[in-house]
Structure formats: structure tokens, C-alpha cells
Amino acid sequence: MFLNAARSSDTGAANDDAVPGLGGDHQVGPNAVIQIRAALIDAEGAGCARRVFMDAGLEDWFDTVPDRMVPAARVHRLNSELLASLDGETFEAVMREAGRRTGHYILENRIPGPAKRLLKLLPAGLAARALLKAIKANSWTFAGKAGVRVTPGHPAIIEIGANPLPMPGCPWHAAVFETLFATLLRRPVFVSHRIAADRTRLDRFELRWRSQTSVDSVEASRFMSPR
């Protein structure tokens, strides 16, 4: 397994913030809070960030960031408050930045160095297949108990059934996946999102990347272009 995201022995206090339809017993990794807090402070300042957390009834998380699994329903409440408090462009920028930071945290702390080096040496399709397998095995960190299905290929597909952290466009999830794949495949990756028609919400992420030939051609043209 490439991702080394071992569970904490203490998954946190019982959840009393259940949201109908989200599954009150879902727990997700603390980076869903930590990186949003950091990105929001950088974008809007500590005063605005504190108000958002207070309005969501989560001042405790602002004052002391969690270091263990957290109730997904409370994270959803924070995300919903962000959506209500910020304009659409700022909301998406903050969520995407939080997702990028989460992705980099995973790369730096949860994927062993030898595994990262191996993935970067593999052809993109094989590296993507291995990364999809690891993401599915560790999906509890971003999807709680929700069903997660992955499909190798191009595009590579990640689907979350009954997503406990649903947001318009799911920019946090998309940015996490983009950061992981772009870094380990060593090429630009584009992530699209749509909600598939189903009896329950199904978030579908499609990941596409350029061939290495295309990347090399672009880099060569930049090198050869007159300055």
C-alpha cells in the first residue's frame, strides 16, 4: 500500500452534529479542517476566519486544530458556512487551496519515499492505477464510510457514493486528487467533477493528463523560443 495513513487509535468524541442524509457516524481526517483554516486565514485574514468558525459553532476547532479523526457532519457544517459567507470565487479558491495543501501533506507525510520514487518512474497509466488502488484503500480519510469506486484508464475515475462532504463542484476533493496525480505522474492533470444521476448522490471525478510526449514538446518549445 502506497499511502501510509494509519488510523489514530482515538477517532474522537461521539458525533452530536448529525446531518440528515449525510450519515452522522462518518469520520474523516483532520486535514479537512486544518488546511481549510490555514487557507482561509491566508486569503481573508484571521479575523474573518474566526468569525466563520464561530458562526458555524466550531470556535473550538479554530482555537485548537484537531489532531485526530473528526465528524464529517461538523466539517460539512464548516464548509456550508464558508459557502454562505464568501463569494463564489473566493469560496472555490479557499477550498482548492485547502485541497492542494492536503495533497501536499499526504505526499510529504503519508507516502513513503521509495514508493514516491517508484511511482514517478512508472508509465503514467501504471502509476495512476497504483495510486487509484491506494486512494480507494484509504478513502475513509476523505469519504468516511461512503462507498468509493475507482476505475483505471484515461480518464481515471473516482466515484464517491453518498459523499459526506458534498459541496458545489467539490473543489477540495478535486484539488487533493489533482495534486497527488500531477506530482506522482509528473505532468499536468485536469480533474472534472459532475454529479451522476442516481437514487443517492454520486460524485464522479474524472482525471485526465497529457502524454509525456506532449509535455516534452511543450518544454522543448519553451526552451527553444527566443528570449
Lowest mean pLDDT among 67-76, 124-133, 151-160, 191-200: 191-200
Q: What is the pTM of this model?
A: 0.84
Specify which of 4-8, 17-21, 120-124 reaches the highest per-range mean pLDDT: 120-124
Which residues does residue 149 pair with via DSSP β-bridges, in sequence order?
A: 159
Q: What is the mean pLDDT of residues 3-8?
A: 44
Q: Cell numbers 488546511 label which residue? A: 35
For the chain, which residues make up each domain, given as ranges?
A: 27-214
More confident residue, 10 or 204: 204
Q: Which CATH class is domain 27-214?
A: alpha beta
Measured from the Cβ of residue 12, the count of other Cβ atoms closer than 10 Å reads 15
pLDDT digits (tens, 9 = 90+) for 139-173: 998 999 999 999 999 999 999 999 999 999 999 99
Q: What do you get for the CA distance between the two ends of the chain, in Å?
A: 46
Which residues does residue 151 pair with via DSSP β-bridges, in sequence order?
A: 157
pLDDT at 200: 80
pLDDT digits (tens, 9 = 90+) for 201-213: 899 999 999 876 5
The residues, ordered by sequence, that sit 6+ positions from 116 with a Cβ below 8 Å of its Cβ are 107, 184
Does the structure show a pLDDT above 50 at 138? yes
What are phi and psi for residue 218, nearest 5 degrees?
Answer: -65, -45
pLDDT digits (tens, 9 = 90+) for 28-62: 999 999 999 999 999 999 999 999 999 999 999 99
| Dist. CA 144–CA 163, nearest whole Å | 8
CB 10 within 8 Å of CB 68: yes
pLDDT digits (tens, 9 = 90+) for 68-103: 999 999 999 999 999 999 999 999 999 999 999 999
Angle between helices 113-121 and 124-137 (to 10 degrees): 140
| Dist. CA 87–CA 172, nearest whole Å | 16
| Dist. CA 195–CA 176, nearest whole Å | 18
pLDDT at 2: 52
